Structure 1
Amino acid sequence: MSSNFRLTRAYQQAKVIPFDDTSKFILFSDCHRGDNSFADDFANNRNVYYHALRHYFAKGFHYCELGDGDELWENLTFKSLFEAHKDVYKLLRKYHLENRLHMIWGNHDMVYKDPNYVKKHLSSYFEPIDEKDKELFKDIVYNEAVVLKHKDTEQEIFLTHGHQADWWNYTFWRWGRFLVRVLWKPLQVWGIADPTSPAKNYTELIKVEKRIKKWILKNNLKITIVGHTHRPRFPEPGDIPFFNDGSCVHPRSITGIEIEEGNISLIKWQIATKIDGTLLIVRKVLEGPQKITDYQTKG
């Protein structure tokens, strides 16, 4: 089974979400929410991420998570993640209750492609204070891909994690999970990175990106946004329309992609310091805004 086949299948089976120039979406991926241990990469940026999500919720944005939101290779259960980052999940629940939450599974949370697993572990949580179960993400559905389709122009934006172009992390993800749990998680505490991860292996990163670009060229230059490699990408109009929203585990910052008023932008949220020494969280536009219609598909 080739990368082209896997990407094509994901596109054909994708959940379709209509949008127009009044729609607003924020795209994050690769949060790798963990258990708040030394191996939890998300913990360092938790406050930045939480602040950004509150901002987008108040502004009426839809939240699209392009895979690897939860770190279920290093951790055995969702329960440990929820207990470590309960405030984050309760905020995501607010999006869900307003039908503004769109979740995609990646290789590190690939168990979510099983609806029964999702229903069992994410539908509710136990609240010790009340000593009873409470509703969390009732009826939530994880998808392999999402297609945003413009109501007027019918232009499409293909959203997926991107590990379809990484045969090891797609086909042999269970082996990868096993190795991470027994080998790389303990070593990560000592600063030794997992060499099977394209985010930490530049040679593999380039291979994955080339395969995705090749698929885009074969599919009429369809706008494609992924995560997986953790490397932000924002092409110029006329180039191959291959975007990457980066990750939420960059040192002291998170990156994402905004879609608003028919424009697309690459943004970063980070901790900054004022002259008086006060710390604050700020949003910075790295690329764009660029009109989505400037990325013309063929045919």
Structure 2
Amino acid sequence: MSSQTRLTKAYKEAKRISFTNQDKFILFSDCHRGDASFADDFANNRNIYMHALNHYFKENFQYIELGDGDELWENIFFKTIFEANKNIFLVLQKFFNQGKLHMIYGNHDFIFRNPNTVKRVLSEYFEPREGKNVPLFPGIKYNEAIVLENSETKQEIFLTHGHQADFMNYVGWKINRFLVQVLWKPLQVWGIKDPTSPAKNYVELIKVERRIKKWIAANGNKITITGHTHRPRFPKPQDNALHYFNDGSCVHPRSITGIEIVEGTITLIKWYIDTTDNGTLQIVKEVLEGPCKLDDYK
């Protein structure tokens, strides 16, 4: 099965969510939530991500995660990830309880494509204060892709992780997972990068982007938003470019990036730690690109 066939299959089988120009979504991907060890790339940005989550929940956003939310290659058990990031999962639970949490699996959390695994791992957790298991995400569904469909304009936005365009991270993901667990995780502590990841291998990154753009060109220049490569992408509508977006990642050095879809517009944003004039640290949001009207992407 080619990358084009895999992307087409993901699109055709995608969960469909109807929205209007009054709705608000925040898209993050590639959080790679880990176990807080020295090999945990997410650890440095945990507080930034937590602050952003609370902001979006208070502002009535829906949360969509475009894959690789949890680092389940370096970490064998979800329990260790949960214990290191319990406060974050409890904020995500608030979105879930209001029907505003939508999850897509990527190559690093590929195990969540199995509904039985999702049910066993994510339905509940042990709460020491109560001495029993309590609900976490009972009945949650993970999808390979989501299509947002504007009920007013009928415009579609195709959301997926993007690893469909990466043979070894889709078909050969178990091999790559094994190599990460036994080889690259220990070496990462010493600063040696994993060459199997397109996020750390520029040649592979370009190949993945080229395959995704080829699919977009063959499918009516449909707005497509992915993660996987960790490289933010935001085409301007007036450039007549292919409508390929990428929300970046939550493991950039000292910052996280994402995409906001707000009241019929799309914006690439960054959250990071800044200092005030008196030296006080604060977490702030910066607009990197946009906002642009979705209607302008024809």
Scaled by the length of structure 1, what TM-score is found? 0.99
Matches within 5 A, 1:34-49: 34-49=34-49
d(CA) in 2 for partners of 1:240, 1:218 = 11
Amino acid at match of 1:278: T
d(CA) in 1 for partners of 2:250, 2:56 = 15
Which position in structure 2 is the counterpart of 1:180? 180
Q: Deviations over 1:219-242 (max 9, x none)?
A: 000000000000000001121000
d(CA) in 2 for partners of 1:177, 1:216 = 29
SS at 2:197 equivalent: coil
Displacement after TM superposition at 1:9 (Å): 0.2
Which position in structure 1 is the counterpart of 2:71? 71
Which position in structure 2 is the counterpart of 1:33? 33
Q: Which contiguous aligned blocks of 4+ residues in structure 1 show a shift greater than 6 angstroms?
A: none
Tell whether 2:254 aligns with 1:252: yes
Matches within 5 A, 1:80-159: 80-159=80-159
Which position in structure 2 is the counterpart of 1:270? 272
Q: Deviations over 1:144-200 (max 9, x none)?
A: 000000001100000000000000100000011000000000000000010000000
Percent of aligned pairs with the same amino acid: 67
SS at 1:198 equivalent: coil
Displacement after TM superposition at 1:77 (Å): 0.9
Which position in structure 1 is the counterpart of 2:161? 161
Displacement after TM superposition at 1:254 (Å): 0.2
Displacement after TM superposition at 1:129 (Å): 1.9
Which position in structure 2 is the counterpart of 1:13? 13
Amino acid at match of 2:246: N
Displacement after TM superposition at 1:275 (Å): 1.2
Displacement after TM superposition at 1:289 (Å): 0.2
SS at 1:281 equivalent: strand
Scaled by the length of structure 2, what TM-score is found? 0.99
Displacement after TM superposition at 1:25 (Å): 0.2
Which position in structure 2 is the counterpart of 1:229? 229
Work out which of the residue numbers 288, 291, 294 in structure 1 matches 2:290.
Answer: 288
Which structure 1 segments of 5+ residues have no match? Answer: none
d(CA) in 2 for partners of 1:259, 1:191 = 36
d(CA) in 2 for partners of 1:118, 1:18 = 24
Displacement after TM superposition at 1:127 (Å): 1.1
SS at 1:92 equivalent: helix
Tell whether 2:22 aligns with 1:22: yes
SS at 1:44 equivalent: helix
d(CA) in 2 for partners of 1:190, 1:156 = 44
Which structure 2 segments of 5+ residues have no match? Answer: none
Tell whether 2:198 aligns with 1:198: yes
d(CA) in 2 for partners of 1:30, 1:40 = 13
d(CA) in 1 for partners of 2:176, 2:63 = 28
Amino acid at match of 2:6: R
Q: Deviations over 1:86-144 (max 9, x none)?
A: 00000000000000000000000000000000000100000122110010000000000
d(CA) in 2 for partners of 1:155, 1:11 = 14
d(CA) in 1 for partners of 2:296, 2:78 = 41
